[in-house]
Amino acid sequence: MNMIEMEQVSKSYQQYQVLNKITLNLPQGHIMGLLGQNGAGKTTLLKLCLGLLKADRGEIRVMEAPGWDMPPKVKEQVGYVAQKSDTLHWMNVSQLLDYTGAFYQNWDAAKVTALMQRWQLDPKSRVSDLSEGQKQRVAIIQAIGHNPKLLILDEPVASLDPMLRREFIRELIDINLENGTSVLFSTHILSDLERVASDIAILRRGEICFQGSLDELKERYVRLHLSSHSPLPKALQIQGLLHIEHSPNHIRALVENPDRAVVSALEKQLNATAQIEALGLDDIFLELHK
């Protein structure tokens, strides 16, 4: 079962097309990282999945229910952390979490109390007096206090320090393992995704350019180095070449699914030494957006 299914989904704001024919599936129990530059359409995509925006074209289903017309029983199983906290700032932390819990039949008060203590949140502090990082912690607790089956996160750790980010990642792994919670997780902190994500989707210029496992992504995109004592050509005839950087005796190229036999033939043809470099998530993301 897929927790989220998007089929040929498009969304525009007036004349500007943000998303173009997006097809995306989040399998049950998976944690998927959603990557893209600012303005790529990540927040729009997440809001479409939540039913906060309506697609111009295409179909969205969340837990097999229509995304734009989710029944209450489905909404109750979804948790959401927005990019910016926009809540009832005049309440104190305890009042806000009690108020949130009143909307859910399976609100886990013991878990919420434990998280407040672990994340050093004073239940009597007024929300308006909290730092941005503290407000973000409260928003995360609001989103996971009912042990949702689907968790949608839009830059949830942007205001957290490294220690609290690690705590949050640990909590994310726990709810995934204990409850089978599926997660769609947008963040610019790619090292966090590498710790927790089983799947990656990359959004570029309004389209999904990759969706698959993190291992598949790392196998698909590699950096090819060619070195020679003789001058090397400025262009390479190799399938899957995405871009190339050239100096007289060295070529560095990003290649998609390189054919090892072709690389060996290039070595002989150019009298060069070839090296295939595996890339981390940071490097792949930067290379794809050059």
How far, in Å, CA of 112 to CA of 115, rounded?
5
Answer yes or no: are the C-beta atoms of 150 and 173 closer than 8 Å.
no
- For residue range 237-275, list pLDDT tens digits in order: 888 888 899 888 899 999 999 888 888 888 888 888 999
Indicate whether 8 pLDDT > 90: yes
- Residue 127: how many CB atoms within 10 A of its CB? 18
Residue 265's pLDDT is 87
DSSP H or E segment with residue 79: strand 78-81
Residue 174's pLDDT is 87
- For residue range 20-73, list pLDDT tens digits in order: 999 999 999 999 999 998 888 999 999 999 999 999 999 999 999 999 999 999
Answer yes or no: are the C-beta atoms of 200 and 212 closer than 8 Å.
yes
Q: Percent of the chain beyond pLDDT 70?
A: 100
C-alpha pair distances (Å), 159 with each of 86, 133, 163: 14, 5, 12
Q: Give the β-pairing of 273-278 and 221-227.
A: antiparallel
- What mean pLDDT is predicted for residues 204-223? 92
Indicate whether 142 pLDDT > 90: yes
Indicate whether 87 pLDDT > 80: no
What are 148's two structure tokens? 């949702």
Residue 190's pLDDT is 86
Residues of the chain with CATH 3.30.70: 219-288
Position 151 confidence tier, pLDDT thresholds 50, 70, 90: very high
What are 124's two structure tokens? 């009597």
- What mean pLDDT is predicted for residues 192-214? 91
Answer yes or no: are the C-beta atoms of 74 and 65 closer than 8 Å.
yes
- Within its chain, how far is the Cα of 68 from the centroid? 22
DSSP H or E segment with residue 12: strand 2-13
Residues of the chain with CATH 3.40.50.300: 2-205
C-alpha pair distances (Å), 59 with each of 34, 41, 141, 149, 152: 19, 17, 31, 21, 18
What are 153's two structure tokens? 């996160």
The architecture CATH gives domain 2-205: 3-Layer(aba) Sandwich (3.40)
- What mean pLDDT is predicted for residues 112-126? 92
219-288: which CATH number, 3.30.70, 1.10.3470, 3.90.920, 2.40.50? 3.30.70
Indicate whether 84 pLDDT > 80: no
Q: Give the β-pairing of 182-186 and 31-35.
A: parallel
Stated pTM of the model: 0.88
What are 13's two structure tokens? 């704001």
DSSP conformation class of 268: H
Q: Which residue has the tokens 């239940």?
A: 123
Q: Which residues contact 258 (CB under 8 A, 6 or more apart)?
A: 222, 224, 238, 240, 276
- For residue range 171-184, list pLDDT tens digits in order: 888 888 888 999 99
Indicate whether 290 pLDDT > 80: no
CA Rg, the chain, in Å?
22
How far, in Å, CA of 186 to CA of 106, rounded?
26
Position 88 confidence tier, pLDDT thresholds 50, 70, 90: confident
How far, in Å, CA of 187 to CA of 155, rounded?
5
Residue 99's pLDDT is 93
Indicate whether 123 pLDDT > 80: yes
Question: By CB neighbour count within 10 A (0-12 exposed, 13-18 middle, 19+ buried), where does 236 fall?
Answer: middle
**Picking from 8-22, 41-55, 131-145, 156-170, which range would have the lowest pLDDT averaged per residue?**
156-170
Residue 20's pLDDT is 94
User: Across all residues in the chain, what is the average pLDDT?
Assistant: 90
Residue 12's pLDDT is 94
Answer yes or no: are the C-beta atoms of 233 and 65 closer than 8 Å.
no
Residue 41's pLDDT is 92
Q: Percent of the chain beyond pLDDT 90?
A: 55
